Amino acid sequence: MTIKIRLARFGRRNAPFYNIVVAHARTARNSKPLEVIGTYDPIPKADPYDDSGRLHKDIKLDTLRAKYWIGVGAQPTDTMWRLLSMVGIMHPKYRDQKPRTAPPLPADIQKPEAASPST
């Protein structure tokens, strides 16, 4: 059976929170997975004492385990593919894009348009 890297929804109503899990493809969404390799908080948040209006999303990921599971044939779902492509574990699926590199300095954050590649 296929092994998937996918999201399992936790959290509350209107307050989603996802576990990034490795599980057999045909098991239920929130059933006990093979392994939990991270979390994804889809609600964008602002930094405290930051007035720029720039929001961020927090993801926790064990990249080593993610790479291992990809290496043994696990298939990320589209959403996970997108996230994994951000850290360079997968090639971007839908757009011919190089894996994006992290901007090194906070100075770039001030001008996000300049720092991020045009999409």
Partner 1 sequence: MPPRIPTNPSASSASALVRNSFASPCTSQSLPGGRAGFSTTPIRERSTNLRRAFLEWTRKVASHYRRPNSEGPSYLINGRPSPASRNRLRPFPLNRNFQSESVLNDQARELIWGKVMRKGESLKAVSAELGVDLTRVAAVVRLKEVEKDWVSKGKKLATPYSRAVLGMLPTKSLREGVENQPLEPINELHIHAATQKQLFWPTSESRQFTREDAAKAFHPKMLSADERVPHPELIQMEKDLLRNMSPNEARTRFINAAEESERKAAQRQMKKAMAEEQATTKINTPRFEFRFREVDSELVGKNGRAPNVVGWKYGMPHYDRKKGMVKIPTSVP
Partner 2 sequence: MPRAAQRRLHVLRRPKLRQSWSKYNLYNLWRQRDPKIGNADHETFFQQKWKAKGLLRAYHGEHIKERDWERMFSRRLLSVANMNPRYMAENDGSEMAAGRGSGKDTERNWDADVVKPSVITPYMNMTFAPMERRLDIAIFRAMFASSARQARHFVVHGKVKVNGKVMNFPAYKLNPGDMFQVDPDAVLFATGAPKKKGGSNARLGITGSQKNNAEAEPAAEEEAEGAEAEGAEATAEASEEVPEQDPETTDKPEAPKADMKPTRFAIRKLTEQAKSILAKDKDVSASQKQNLRSFLKRAKPLLSKAGRSAATPADVLDELNSMVKELNLSGAPTDAAAAAANAAPAATPEAPASPSSGQAVASTRRGPPRSIEDLNEDELKALQRLIKEEEENPADPTKPYHTPWKPRDYMSPFAFIPRYLEVNQKVCSAVYLRHPVARVGSAEVPTPFGPSTNQLAFNWYLRRR
53/104 with CB nearer partner 2: 53
Contact flag: residue 55 with partner 2 (CB under 8 A): no
Smallest distance from partner 2 to CB 48, Å: 6
| Residue from 48, 53, 71, 73 in contact with partner 1 (CB under 8 A) | 48
Residues near 5 by Cβ (< 8 Å), separated by ≥ 6? 20, 21, 22, 37, 66, 69, 70, 74, 75, 76, 77, 80, 84
Contact flag: residue 112 with partner 1 (CB under 8 A): yes
Contact flag: residue 115 with partner 1 (CB under 8 A): yes
- For residue 75 the two structure tokens come to 């298939």
| Residue from 24, 29, 35, 77 in contact with partner 1 (CB under 8 A) | 35
Instruction: Show contacts with partner 1 in window 51-80 (CB under 8 A).
Output: 54-63, 65
Query: If residue 23 lies in a helix (H) or strand (E), which one and from where to where?
Result: strand 15-24
Q: CB under 5 to 8 A by kind: which of partner 1, partner 2, none does 50 bind?
A: partner 2
CB-based contact 76:90 (threshold 8 Å): yes
Contact flag: residue 50 with partner 2 (CB under 8 A): yes
d(CA 107, CA 110): 6
